[in-house]
Structure 1
Amino acid sequence: MTWGVDDIFGGLARLRGGKPIHKIGRVYDARLIRRGGGDFGVPWLDEPGEDHGTARTSRGAGLPRPLPDVLGLAFGFTGPDGARHDLLLSTGGTGRLTRHLLLPRRRPEAVSYTTIVPYAAGGLRVTLTARPRPVRRGGPLFLLSAARTGGRAHEIGLLALSAPRDDEPIAFDPVLHPLPGLTLPGPIAALRATAYRGGRAGRGR
């Protein structure tokens, strides 16, 4: 019997009685305040604006605290045209090389996240990172940056999360709901689409 990616993720979803990965998390109302001033040829990265939606932090493998885990930060919002957009990041570094590495961490509100794989933006490859900022009141804050492959990161906005609330059965899909003007490379998009399809099938969705 040959097992594909969709079979593996579907089996994990059935075994865990829910999401195959990132099952345990917290949900927040969220706002992304984009400062503009970028030079990526993508209005969403280059122009000021605000996006309102829902964020979720999660533990990838669901390991019990205080064990470190690959953590996730997701932000979903609806654009002015009514289209849904999802941004998914995982704990990693912020340097030119480490922004492409998964790194286990402990505290979801106080660590850095990255898209790991660069997005295609026209003829460019752009990686997004989110770095935690000090919080005096309210929920977690993350400084969102974009960087060309091998280049310096440029600050594009501030992601502000509300106080956390109980987890909800919310799903994010960066393949079905890409960011404005950004797309995942074909092989990565195909692999992710297959994994998400298997996970949804395993959950009966």
Structure 2
Amino acid sequence: MTDVRPLAALPAKVGGAVIATAVRGLAAVRPAEKPMHPTGRVLRGRLQRHGLTPGIGVPFVDQAGVDEVVARESNGIGLPAGMPDIHGLAIKVPLGGASYDDVRAGRGSHADVLLSTNGWGPVSRFLVVPSAGMTTRPLTTLFPYRGPQGSVLLGARYVDDRHVELAVAGLRTDWRVFADLHLEPEQPGPTGDGVDDPDLEFDAILNELPGLPNHDWVRRVRAPAYAVARRSRR
């Protein structure tokens, strides 16, 4: 897989400052528990990993297994229903023997995977694309991870409202499905669609997947925005 050269420190720092300023502006003009992805619903998920051959050198992707995960579907901007929005799927994967209940209560080790509606092609996989709903477009992690064999992205595609396929790809290689995620609302809610939890937090910088760390330049770009979001919530 083709690797990506780290960006220079100054451009990455400037990019991080720009994103953080945007998040700070949203938090100031719109009262919400979360400045980004303010509305959504929490789901309980069963992640069935069937593995990948040839692998990418990361057990989470290469090896079969089952994980009971916490998931959240959300609207990135929080526009009214029916308007195109940037939809997101966040997945909290228990690690080191932690259970679903541990992670849901804020205990135990876990990794956070954050995906947003993007394109699926060699270029569009790096572009955020608004969509009419959660299931109408593929989602990707947008930023690449530093894998043992080169940079990779994770992606997701909805088969239906409750079934999501997870895939992995290099910067220009085809997507390969390695897992199926089956979702159920954690709480039915008045309409049966599930309810949200404003206290549930995800951070893809602090909570990395084993074997798939962030590039240093990605940390410099994203970390300031996460810090601003945490402060605004308090």
* Same fold, TM-score > 0.5, yes or no: yes
CA distance in 2, matches of 1:187, 1:25: 29
Residue 166, structure 1, aligned to residue 195, structure 2 = yes
The Cα of 1:4 is off from its aligned counterpart by: 6.5
Q: Is the 8 A contact 2:119 2:137 kept in 1?
A: no
**Which letter maps to 2:52?**
G
SS in 2 for 1:179: coil
Structure 1 ranges of 4+ moved more than 4 A:
3-8
Is 2:78 aligned against 1:56? no
Say if 2:126 is the partner of 1:96. Answer: no
1:182 equivalent in structure 2 = 212
Kept after mapping to 2: 8 A contact 1:9/1:202: no
Unaligned runs of 5+ in 1: none
**1:96/1:6 Cα in 2 relative to 1: closer, same or farther (>3 Å)?**
closer
Give the length in aligned residue pairs.
198
Of 1, 19, 22, the residue aligned with 2:37 is 22
* Residue in 2 that maps onto 1:108: 134
Is the CA contact (8 Å cut-off) linking 2:57 and 2:149 kept in structure 1?
no
- Any gaps of 5 or more consecutive residues in structure 2? 1-16, 99-108, 186-192
What's the CA shift for 1:51?
Answer: 1.4
User: Identity of aligned pairs, percent?
Assistant: 35
Partner amino acid, structure 1, of 2:166: L
> How much has 1:176 moved relative to structure 2?
0.5
**What is the CA–CA distance in structure 2 between the aligned matches of 1:192 and 1:84, rounded to whole Å?**
19
How far does residue 110 in structure 1 lie from its aligned partner after superposition?
A: 4.1
Change (3 A) 1:155 1:175: same
Offset, 1:189: 1.3
CA contact (8 A) 1:32 1:158 kept: yes
Answer yes or no: is 1:124 the counterpart of 2:150. Answer: yes
Residue 132 of structure 1 deviates from its aligned partner by 1.1
Aligned-partner Cα distance in 2 for 1:9–1:93: 23
- Residue 219 of structure 2 is aligned to residue 203 of structure 1: no
1-structure distance, mates of 2:233, 2:197: 15
Contact 1:10/1:203 (<8 A) preserved: no
- TM-score relative to the length of structure 1: 0.89
TM-score by length of 2: 0.78
Q: Counterparts in 2 of 1:7-46, with a 5 A limit?
A: 8-17=22-31, 18-38=33-53, 39-46=55-62
User: 1-side partners of 2:62 and 2:93: how far apart?
Assistant: 18
How much has 1:35 moved relative to structure 2? 0.6
Code of the residue aligned with 2:162 in structure 1: it is P
1:10: how far off?
Answer: 3.7
Tell me by how many angstroms 1:54 deviates.
0.9
Question: Does the Cα contact within 8 Å between 1:55 and 1:75 map onto a contact in 2?
Answer: yes
